């Protein structure tokens, strides 16, 4: 709101009135050089003005009415009406800042102007013109200052509302992006599970045929495993079909899982797509990534696609990017960096996620932590996907 808003904050009205009263008392006690001291009539008009200003600090309209009445009484009774004039003008200022309806402000300004004009009745023309000019100070100045404060407060309130709306929108978009990425991960997980379950069912079926002279109890176990696997595969396929409903999938989120052995080729294809967009990409991919489990392999591919897409979008077509993927002690070390130089290309490859939010969500699901931030003139994003732990034993 700025210093104007803080100075005239509605919560500090009592403090402002108290300072105004102290200033008025100082004016009466110390006086002005060459001016006689205050008369009893001045004190009789000033003290009620001080007290009413304090008592009515929460009711600006009532305060303006009472201060205007004291000012009207002061004109014929005393020569120096400074105290009562300032009290009435300040009451108009408080009313202008705090009134809920604009009509109240203009009625209050009209009332104070009418009271000031009554003092000009019967005065010479020159004196009357001087009095009219004085209205600019006694009425127009507090009115203008009050309107400025009101406008400042309104603009500040609107800015706060816009900031809050932007914050809620960003939170909503972040939640939607995280949900979309979780949905993509869930679809990929179902793909992986369906693949392995289908493989197990196939192997059990083969075992039943190549081992005809089995103990009936072993054959019963094989039959049960085969039936259970077939039912599980049917359920998984049904779930995958639901998750891949085109109405509920956006962009590349519905890309199917890949075989781990095909990961190096898929990473190479992602690099080629970035190069086609104009980005110079240097790739250092450890051949050991071809032996990763399907879940981490899928994550590495999606992270690479999204990171290279971001390089093309933000660093520009003339940028140089470095992709590094290595496997050390079972953990996957992945990083993409760029030098941040270049103009935005006309076309960029489409990634498989939702920016840093989706990348971080995917990494955290696997127990890693994504680091993203500026480095030199460019940008770097990196993570370490922990080694896959052994599957729990099942009875």
Per residue in 67-81, is it b (16+ CB within 10 Å) or e — as a string?
bbbbbbbbbeebebb
* Region 2-21 average pLDDT: 70
In this prediction, residues 82-110 reach a mean pLDDT of: 89
Confidence at residue 200, expressed as pLDDT on a 0 to 100 scale: 76
**pLDDT tops 80 at residue 189:** no
In the predicted model, what is the mean pLDDT of residues 12-35? 78
Q: Which two tokens stand for residue 217?
A: 């109890």
Q: What percent of the chain has pLDDT over 70?
A: 78
Nearest to 300 by CA among 276, 330, 249, 335: 335
**DSSP three-state, residue 293:** coil
Question: What mean pLDDT is predicted for residues 95-106?
Answer: 89
pLDDT band for position 57 (cuts 50, 70, 90):
confident
Nearest CA to 49 out of 66, 26, 61 is that of 66
Q: What phi and psi values does residue 82 have, to the nearest 5 degrees?
A: -55, -45
Query: In this predicted model, what pLDDT tens digit does every residue of 346-376 receive, in sequence order?
Result: 333 334 445 777 788 888 888 889 998 888 7
Task: Name the more confident of 245 and 276.
Answer: 276
Q: Where are the alpha helices (DSSP H) in 244-293?
A: 263-276
- Is the pLDDT at 98 greater than 70, yes or no? yes
Query: CA 159, CA 163: separation in Å to the nearest integer?
Result: 6
Residue 321: exposed, middle, or buried by beta-carbon count in 10 A (0-12, 13-18, 19+)? buried
Q: For the chain, how long is the longest CA-to-CA vector? A: 132
The number of CA neighbours under 13 Å toward the Cβ of 214 is 14
329 SS3 class: coil
Task: Give this prediction's pTM.
Answer: 0.46
Indicate the pLDDT class of residue 241, thresholds 50, 70 and 90. low
DSSP states along 115-170: HHHHTTTT--HHHHHHHHHHHIIIIIHHHHHHHHHHHHHHHHHHHHHHHHHHHHHH
- For residue 324, what pLDDT is reported? 93
Per-residue tokens: 145: 């200052």
Average pLDDT, the chain: 78
Burial (0-12, 13-18, 19+ Cβ within 10 Å), 140: middle
What's the burial of 389, exposed, middle or buried (CB within 10 Å: 0-12/13-18/19+)? Answer: exposed
How many Cα atoms occupy the beta-carbon half-sphere of 187 within 13 Å?
23
- Report residue 333 as tokens: 């070390």
Cβ within 8 Å of residue 59, ≥6 positions away:
none
For residue 181, give the nearest of 364, 337, 325 by alpha carbon.
Answer: 364
């Amino acid at each position: 709101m700025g210093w104007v808003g803080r100075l005239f904050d509605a919560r500090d009205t009592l403090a402002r009135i108290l300072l105004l009263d102290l200033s008025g008392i100082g004016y009466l006690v110390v006086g002005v050089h060459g001016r006689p001291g205050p008369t009893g009539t001045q004190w009789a008009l000033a003290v009620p003005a001080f007290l009413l200003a304090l008592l009515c600090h929460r009711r600006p309209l009532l305060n303006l009415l009472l201060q205007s009445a004291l000012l009207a009484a002061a004109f014929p009774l005393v020569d120096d009406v400074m105290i009562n004039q300032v009290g009435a003008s300040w009451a108009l200022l408080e009313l202008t800042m705090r009134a809920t309806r604009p009509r109240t402000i203009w009625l209050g300004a009209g009332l104070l102007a009418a009271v000031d004009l009554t003092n000009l009745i019967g005065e010479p023309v020159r004196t009357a013109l001087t009095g009219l000019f004085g209205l600019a100070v006694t009425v127009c100045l507090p009115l203008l200052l009050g309107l400025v404060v009101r406008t400042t407060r309104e603009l500040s309130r609107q800015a706060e509302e816009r900031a809050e709306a932007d914050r809620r929108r960003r939170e909503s978009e972040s939640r939607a992006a995280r949900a979309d990425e979780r949905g993509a991960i869930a679809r990929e997980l179902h793909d992986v599970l369906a693949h392995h379950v289908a493989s197990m069912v196939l192997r059990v079926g083969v075992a039943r045929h190549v081992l005809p002279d089995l103990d009936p109890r072993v054959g019963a176990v094989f039959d049960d495993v085969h039936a259970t696997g077939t039912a599980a595969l049917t359920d998984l396929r049904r779930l995958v079909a639901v998750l891949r409903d085109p109405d509920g999938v956006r962009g590349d989120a519905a890309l199917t899982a890949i075989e781990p052995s095909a990961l190096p080729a898929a990473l190479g294809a992602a690099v080629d797509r970035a190069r086609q967009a104009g980005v110079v990409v240097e790739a250092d991919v450890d051949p050991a990534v071809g032996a990763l489990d399907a879940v981490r392999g899928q994550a590495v591919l999606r992270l690479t696609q999204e990171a290279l897409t971001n390089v093309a979008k933000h660093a520009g077509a003339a940028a140089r990017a470095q992709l590094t993927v290595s496997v050390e002690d079972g953990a996957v070390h992945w990083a993409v960096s760029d030098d941040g130089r270049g103009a935005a290309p006309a076309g960029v490859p489409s990634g498989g996620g939702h920016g840093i939010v989706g990348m971080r969500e995917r990494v955290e699901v696997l127990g890693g932590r994504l680091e993203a931030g500026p480095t030199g003139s460019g940008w770097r994003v990196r993570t370490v996907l922990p080694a896959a732990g052994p599957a729990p034993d099942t009875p």
